[in-house]
Structure 1
Amino acid sequence: MIEMEYGRRHQLLRVRGRSITWVPPLLLLAGVVLLDFNTPEQFRIVSWIVLVPGIAAAICGVWTTAVFSLLSVLTYVAVDNAWPDQYRAGTADFVLVAAGGLLATLAAGVRVRREQQMLHIRDIAETTRRTVLRPLPRRWAGLEQAGAYLAADVDARVGGDFYDIQPGPHGTRVLVGDVQGKGLGAVETAAALLGTFREAGYHERDLADVAGRLEVRMLRHRFHTTALGRDDGDRFATAVLIGFPEDVAGTIEIVNFGHEPPLSVGPNGVRELPCGGGLPLGLGDLADGLPPVRRVPLAVDETLLLVTDGVTEARDRSGRFYPLADEVARAVTADPRRVEPQRLVLLVRDGVLHHSGGRLADDTTVFAVRRTRVAPGEAPERGRLQV
């Protein structure tokens, strides 16, 4: 939060790229001097000049604050000596202004150092986010995609939501999921699942084998955290695993591990894809087996919309949930171009923020993907990429 406030403050106090943080304390200094000369002798306000370095400490750098502290002392002496002896504020107020300037300079130093630390933490969090949620090309492996991730903890910038696309010799696979819980433990679990998906999604021929590898990885990760004595050994994750087979263009394969059902958004409206209701990753031992692989139709002109529960469980002030399907259907009817992944993601992201008033109770992920048409004579991308 400190880093965000720092960025907003410095963005507002700039004109044509130049900082004007010195303007408010300078205006306050001039205002105090003018008021002091235009008030009765019995009502001296020159000592209010102590507010000038205080304001500078809140928005300016250390050296600028020190300059305003010195300027305040010199201005106080000049203004006070301009009055007759019987009306001067005296030494006590002079000490107040001098001490206030010194403390303001020290406070500015502490503030700047804290802001630098927060910027450093932000850079670390951003690096972590790019490691877990690696950047994806807009068009890749025969798919056009767009994604948006909003962390409930604005300082963390990364949480338990995850998504990725993995091309390979057996088609392109997509994974979207949500790790139970928050904090670094959730990030660690998401990274473990994504690592397994990137390997299994490339090498395994059958999507069921990819799903099995994810379940085993989740169990191994739980055993490891339990052996370390951590209290998050019962963590699980919901996920949707999707395969875009090369043999059938109008069909996709879906394995649902207790996640929000995907939505198909196209010219004919919005429909929820039937994909079953399997248990989350890590809870497979409570069922007879893994969720089945289902083949469902998906036309080339349809976009697949996947979200985490941060979207579907977003509430407004009255407690009403965000009506995802209705909002998307209404927007696509009004403008059919909204079926494009980028437009669709922005529509849902902005809709959730507006509906919840910007108060996100959980990490929020919106991911949209659709097939791209390969031009005649152009080789498919998925067979060449081995990442």
Structure 2
Amino acid sequence: MLSWLPIVMMAVVAAMDLTAGPEGGFLPLVSLGPAFAGLIGTWRRTALVGGLALLLCAGLGTYDGLFDTRRGYTAMASVAGVTLAGALAAGSRMRREAELAGVRSIAEVAQSVLQRSVPRHVAGLQVAVSYTSAVAESRIGGDLYEVVASPYGVRVIVGDVQGKGLAAVETAASVLGVFREAAHDEPDLTALAARLERTMARETDAEKFVTAVLAEIHPEQGAADFLNCGHPPPMIVRADGSVDFPSPPAYALPLGLGVHGGEPPRTYRSEFAPGDHLLLYTDGVTEARDAEGTFYPLRERAGLLRTPEAEEGLEALREDVVHHASGPLHDDAAMLLLRHRRR
């Protein structure tokens, strides 16, 4: 429909000029055709519309007898100038759109490497993930997640890199790369966290850190071990509908700040029985605010996760977070849901 707007505009101007006569002064408005074409079309289409506008202007000017004065030539010059400007603007816009498409393509490739798809089913668990960026049209950010089936159990990480931009993405990629390898090698979560800490100390500056929660799930034992490095506590929705936020006896410093001392990382265990839901998330979820500044009430919304499929429940929760914020989130929000399905 928009592609016909320049032609419609010129037709309307021609009708007005023929109705009002030469004294109406509508002839220069023929330039609206190439002006609109430059906004919505290619430079070739703009030039074509401009050519039609010049022919229409010449015909109307001759009919009105305006070429006996300067008015006809002024109108022709106006149409030609607007056509040239519109064609240049359309060409510039097309180049920017091509560059943006290239950047999006690169971002999608980076996203597939950084946050690849997690298995939907692993060791009796149903898995679903959600990532909502705080930046419109963004496909990549500093939040991270991964699920690995290791010899020691199903190991999971959800984290949030301090900072934004490419530096945060680089740090997230480094942490995930080490986690994917170390999850198969390290015998416990404490050793796994220490390995991630060494990577952060070696590859990032002293001001960069990552809050993270590590989990090791044993479906056959009906239990889950956690290690929390300055991250929001996980949420477990029990089969009976009750909600629990297992908290550590002491929070460890975020990854990357271990060189400053502080409480050493310690694991703790929580029951994770058949029918339970385990949600790991970043603070972009709990810190989402509505128009009155109220934080998102995650505990009260936990019932949204109790759906036949894990993906349905997580999508319902994500939509509720976005609806609560009534607009773009202030921070990226990553969520990873694990449902115990083994009987």
- Please, what TM-score do these two structures have when normalized by structure 1? 0.82
1:198 to 171, 180, 200: 180
The structural deviation recorded for 1:165 is: 0.7
- Describe the superposition over 1:215-267 as per-residue Cα deviations: whole angstroms up to 9, x where unpaired: 22122223xxx4xxxxxx3111110101113651x101111111111111244
Give 1:2-21 correspondences, 5 Å limit. Answer: 20-21=1-2
Partner Cα distance (2:328, 2:210) in 1: 23
Give 1:161-172 correspondences, 5 Å limit. Answer: 161-172=143-154
> Does 1:370 pair with 2:339?
yes
Size of the alignment, in residue pairs?
Answer: 340
Give secondary structure in 1 for the equivalent of 2:146. Answer: strand
Q: 1:38 to 1:137 in 2, by over 3 A?
A: farther
1:59 to 36, 40, 59: 40
Give secondary structure in 1 for the equivalent of 2:150. Answer: coil
Per the alignment, residue 320 of structure 2 pairs with 351
The structural deviation recorded for 1:57 is: 1.4
Partner Cα distance (2:123, 2:328) in 1: 36
The structural deviation recorded for 1:148 is: 1.5
Per the alignment, residue 230 of structure 1 pairs with none
Give 1:92-103 correspondences, 5 Å limit. Answer: 92-103=74-85
- Describe the superposition over 1:90-149 as per-residue Cα deviations: whole angstroms up to 9, x where unpaired: 101110101111111111111001100000001111111111111223224543211121
Give secondary structure in 1 for the equivalent of 2:6. Answer: helix
Per the alignment, residue 245 of structure 1 pairs with 218
Give secondary structure in 2 for the equivalent of 1:116. Answer: helix
Percent identity at matched positions?
A: 38
Per the alignment, residue 111 of structure 2 pairs with 129
Per the alignment, residue 294 of structure 2 pairs with 320
The structural deviation recorded for 1:370 is: 1.9
Q: 1:299 to 1:44 in 2, by over 3 A?
A: same
Q: Which amino acid aligns with 1:299?
A: A
Give secondary structure in 1 for the equivalent of 2:20. Answer: coil
1:271 to 238, 244, 249: 244
Residues 250-259 or 278-287, more deviating: 278-287
Per the alignment, residue 383 of structure 1 pairs with none
Per the alignment, residue 307 of structure 2 pairs with 337
Give secondary structure in 2 for the equivalent of 1:275. Answer: coil
Q: Supply the RMSD in Å over aligned alpha carbons.
A: 2.1
Per the alignment, residue 71 of structure 1 pairs with 52
Residues 255-264 or 288-297, more deviating: 288-297
Partner Cα distance (2:313, 2:220) in 1: 28
List gaps (5 residues or longer) in structure 1.
1-19, 227-232, 375-387
Consecutive aligned runs of 4 or more in structure 1 exceeding 6 Å deviation: none
Partner Cα distance (2:63, 2:120) in 1: 69
- Please, what TM-score do these two structures have when normalized by structure 2? 0.92
Per the alignment, residue 381 of structure 1 pairs with none
List gaps (5 residues or longer) in structure 2.
none
> Does 1:186 pair with 2:192?
no
Partner Cα distance (1:247, 1:369) in 2: 14
